[in-house]
Structure 1
Amino acid sequence: MSAAARPTWDPAQYLRHAGHRTRPFTDLLARVASLPGDPPRIADLGCGAGNVTALLADRWPTALITGYDNAPEMLDRAHVDHDGPTTGGGRLTFLRADVRIWTPDRPHDLIVSNATLQWIPGHAERFPDWIAGLAPGGTLAFQVPGNFDAPSHALMRRLTRSPRWRARLDGVLRHSGAVLRPEEYLQRLTGLGCAADVWETTYVHLLQGDDPVLDWVKGTGLRPVLTALADDPEARDAFLAEYRTALRAAYPPGPHGTPFPFRRVFAVARTRERGARAV
């Protein structure tokens, strides 16, 4: 598999840790102020299985919400579980789109993205188009993982570059610079004329079960490796065995579960309302 090949996704595997994965999104939404539209128009970039997209309808019951993703496996699950009118009079719709080139075709009140932009090289270069696609007083809000230097990801990269796996796997994983530093996001967003709020949080998830960190990354960061080895189950299992051993040493279980620190970076950028002066 080349480095540019699209990883295949497993909605059931991803949703195994839905509770932990949802919390950063709810923390992000808590910092989003009121939206100018009535009903508001919302785009969720990288909606995945739609489980967090549905939370937007809880916050803005009348909203017209569209989730965009390019993974057919995830979109199929989103259609089945969440597509259609909402109880508040709004609607949830899910469409296939490539976030790398997606541009709003009409003004949006909120463009939101949850743990997606780290998959898009140079994603900050898309900010001008997305900001330009917001209605006056609209908001761009996103969160991305900031844990590429954590053992879970560093060990994964180290293993793919080892002599045994280099020929097949070197280059399939994202590099440590896939996410910008918080101050870089702040500078870019304020430079576009937005009032920006940028912060970071390290969650310490207490995971249960055998090899829970491996189970977690099998739903997200490890997908490119699993895709590359999908045609060779023996090699896939051998890689997982090596990686499992390394993760057990890095994340030993405690008496109540396995602590799994996970840093995330958040940004909420609001455009000026109509008639407001720049300061």
Structure 2
Amino acid sequence: MKNDWNTDQYLQFEDLRTRPAYELLNRVSIDKPETVVDLGCGPGNSTELLQRKFPSAAILGVDSSPKMLEEAKKRLPDAEFALDDIAMWHPQEKADVIFANASLQWVTGHSDLFPRLMQCLKPGGILAVQMPDNLSEPTHALMREAASEGSWAEVLSEAVKSRETIGSCADYYNWVADQSDVIDIWRTSYEHVLVDAEGIVDWFKSTGLRPFLDPLNDQERTAYLEQYLGKIKQVYKPLQDGRVLLTFPRLFIVVQKKL
């Protein structure tokens, strides 16, 4: 059985993880939406932003992780949450806003997914998506490299396919254009200042490293992380004060459905 998310590990970098959600939400312009969905809401940090911006809306947080939803309910006891596979999710009623912060990269088939999500919106509704676009970064290349070099190579042969390869800006434009009036797409690289190379490993333990760690036993997991950390230290050199910079590209898409 697939291991659930480690909420404590995820929330260790809450401020840095929430910043893209905040910046995505700043580009969502809609007057008094009635129904807002946080698709892949995680521990509720993005849901909380949505509640603040749209206090009169009915907001639903959807996630496939029971632990994440448990944390979200503690954070926002008055909000509504649902356990569901975001890859198959379909609303009972069409939404005014579908907000997906750092979740759709775990869902395959974006050429079908994005048009389907547009169909889940009311006329004039908004789809707002942010996805890590870092599969080509050293952090992820080294995950795959470490996976191919150890005794676990066969076990982890499928792990490299666990995340969808993000399309180009033109791809996403084309996938939603026939249903859209306004399309806003941009790409940003954040430079996160972390304490040291171990901080980079800690960051990804709760996200990008999960497909590589989940299939391993405790001993293998420890050995894999040691090997991965050694590779990270070779690439991410300490700055003058000993800290390191984690370059983190992200893709943003805000689309308004035709009236």
Which amino acid in structure 2 is aligned with residue 173 of structure 1?
Answer: V
Cα distance between partner residues in 2 of 1:181 and 1:12: 33
C-alpha deviations, 1:46-80, integer Å up to 9, x for none? 11111111110111111111010111111111111
SS at the partner of 2:135? coil
Is the CA contact (8 Å cut-off) linking 2:38 and 2:59 kept in structure 1?
yes
Kept in 2: contact 1:159–1:165 (CA 8 A): no
Q: Distance in 2 between matches of 1:44 and 1:36?
A: 16
> 1:228 is paired with a residue of what secondary structure?
coil
1:43 counterpart SS class:
strand
Structure 1 outlier segments of 4+, above 4 Å: none
- 1:11-63 Cα deviation digits (max 9, x unpaired): 000010111111111111111112453xx210111111111111101111111
1:180 positional shift: 1.1
Output the CA distance in 2 between the equivalents of 1:205 and 1:63: 33
Code of the aligned partner of 2:244:
T
Distance 2:162 2:89 in 1: 23
Please list every run of 5 or more consecutive structure 1 residues that lacks an aligned counterpart in the other structure.
85-91, 274-279
Which amino acid in structure 2 is aligned with residue 30 of structure 1? Answer: N
- Which of 214, 219, 228 is the aligned partner of 1:234? 219
**Structure 1 residue aligned with 2:115, among 106, 123, 128?**
128
Question: TM-score, normalised to structure 2's length?
Answer: 0.94
What's the counterpart of residue 113 of structure 1?
A: 100
Q: Confirm or deny: 8 A CA contact 1:36 1:109 kept in the other structure.
A: no
CA drift at 1:177: 5.2
What's the CA shift for 1:178? 2.1
In structure 2, the partner of 1:276 is none
Cα deviation 1:220-253 (Å, max 9, x = unaligned): 1011222111xx2111111111001001111112
* Counterpart residue number, 1:80: 74
Q: Identify if the C-alpha distance between structure 1 residues 65 and 176 changes in structure 2 by more than 3 Å, giving closer, same or farther.
A: closer
Residue in 1 that maps onto 2:21: 25
| Cα deviation, residue 175, structure 1 | 6.1
Q: Distance in 2 between matches of 1:228 and 1:194?
A: 44
What residue is the counterpart of 1:179 in the other structure?
A: 166
Q: Which amino acid aligns with 1:21?
A: R
Which amino acid in 1 is paired with 2:187?
A: E
CA distance in 2, matches of 1:271, 1:210: 43
Distance 1:210 1:246 in 2: 10
- Partner in structure 1 of residue 240 of structure 2: 255
Aligned equivalents of 1:175, 1:6: Cα separation in 2: 13
Taking the aligned partners of 1:25 and 1:120, their CA distance within structure 2 comes to 18
Structure 2: tracts of 5 or more residues without a match: none
**Which amino acid letter does the alignment assign opposite residue 16 of structure 2?**
H
Q: 1:52 is aligned with what amino acid?
A: S
Deviation at 1:83, TM superposition (A): 2.7
Task: Judge conservation of contact 1:8–1:223 (CA < 8 Å) in 2.
Answer: no
Match of 2:190 in 1: 203
Please name the residue that 1:89 is paired with: none
CA contact (8 A) 2:106 2:162 kept: no
What residue identity is the alignment partner of 1:26?
A: Y
